[in-house]
Structure formats: C-alpha cells, structure tokens
Structure 1
Amino acid sequence: MAKEDTTSTKKRSAASAVTTVRARLAQLVWLVCVLCALALASGALLVALKANTDNALVVFILDAADAVDLGVFDRNDGIMKFEGENAATKNALVNWGLGAIAWLVIGRILDRIIRP
C-alpha cells in the first residue's frame, strides 16, 4: 500500500508541474501579445501627435510597430487606406488600432487554450 501512495504522489506532483508550466507559458504568451498591442497603439499615437522622428525612442517605437503589424495592418498599405488630408494619421490610427485589437484577441484566445 505504501508503494501505491508514492506512485499517486508522484503522479500528482508531475501533474502539478505540468499545470504550473502551462500557466507560466500562458502568461508569457499573453504578455508578448499585450506588448505587441502596446507597440501598435503607441506607434499610432506618436503618428497622430506628429512626434519628432529624429528622437531615437520615437523611431524605436515606430519600428517595433512596423515589425508587429504583420503586414496586414500596415499603416501605409493596410486593411483600410485613406487618401487626402491627414491620410497618414488616419491610416496609422485605424490600421494599427485594428492590429492592436487583433493582438489582444489572439493573445486572450491562446491564453485560454494553453492555460489548464
């Protein structure tokens, strides 16, 4: 009977370890998705405010947003394309805004799938 107790204890310990790893992985995936959404939202805000593109931080955020827009939500050739006055601002706000929402939705779905 003692041998059965140790076997069940080992199984519970292994299951607990797997649960912990899955929970941490889900947190990591969610964090990455939130950071991608934050980069897109910050980039759109910087474009709307016409931030100084000579500033290294502004360039870093805009480059990060360009990297995570997946090509689908590109501010120059994205889902929606505006023309005329303030087209660059509208393109950035709409396309990167949609991209940020998409990252949050994808992140939440993956979090729910991975988390035990």
Structure 2
Amino acid sequence: MGLSMTLPQIRIRAAQLLWFLCVVFALFLALGALTFALSANDANGLVSFVRDVAGWVDLGVFSRDNGIKEFTGDNADVKNALFNWGIGAIFWLLLGRILDRVVRG
C-alpha cells in the first residue's frame, strides 16, 4: 500500500487547503470585528492576537483605519471594524470558493 496520490487527488487536496486558509482568514476578520463590537479588553493577549492577525489579513484594502469606508463620530472604531473587516471576510470567502473551483478544474 503506497502513499502515492494521483493528480486529481493532489488537486482536490490543494483546493481543500486553499479553501481552509481562506476560511481561517475570514474567521480572524470576523472575530476581530466582534472584539470591537463587544468592547473586548485590548490588553488581553488573545484579543490583541486576533486583532493583529485580522490587521494582517485585511491586506490594507479592508483596513479598519483606512479601508473602503471610514466612519466618524460615535463608535467609529466599531463601525469601521464591522464594515471593513466584514467586507474583507466576505472577500476571503468568495476568493476561497473561486480558488477551490479553479484548482479542482
């Protein structure tokens, strides 16, 4: 019994891996936005980690500081995080599905 895989099996595994990574990126953005919505303690290590990763996977385009839409006034941080990181999460999910379909062939 060998561990060799056929090309279609490799393509399926690669597509699954790409989809999984995109879902994880979307999850970090959603959780990061949730930490702002719930006014989580940013001194907490886990909250800080989630926000840092979300800031990395937003690619600068969906940044909560300088993203697609910038809110001002009351609760601007929460609105910016929910809107921009929410759009970013949707982007990663769409990209993941597209990549999954393309790689599978």
Tell me the TM-score normalized by structure 1: 0.85
Larger Rg: 1
Stretches of 4+ moved more than 6 A in 1?
Answer: none
Alpha-carbon distance between aligned partners in 1 of 2:55 and 2:98, rounded to the nearest angstrom: 23
The gaps in structure 2 that reach 5 residues or longer are none
Distance in 2 between the 1:53 and 1:40 partners?
A: 15
Structure with the largest fraction of helix? 1
**Alpha-carbon distance in structure 2 between the residues aligned to 1:57 and 1:86:** 22
Query: Structure 2 counterpart of 1:74, which letter?
Result: S
% identity of equivalent residues? 56
2:82 equivalent to 1:109: no
Distance 1:18 1:32 in 2: 21
Extract unaligned runs of 5+ from structure 1. 1-13
AA matched with 1:22: R
* Deviation per residue, 1:10-66 (Å, 9 max, x gap): xxxx9x700000000000000000000000000000011110111110011000000
The residue identity in structure 2 corresponding to 1:71 is G
Tell me, yes or no, if structure 1 residue 39 matches structure 2 residue 14: no
Matches within 5 A, 1:36-115: 36-115=25-104
Distance in 2 (CA, whole Å) between partners of 1:64 and 1:74 is: 12
Counterpart in 2 of 1:29? 18
The count of corresponding residues between Structure 1 and Structure 2 is 102
Distance 2:78 2:46 in 1: 19
Q: TM-score scaled by structure 2?
A: 0.94
RMSD: 1.2
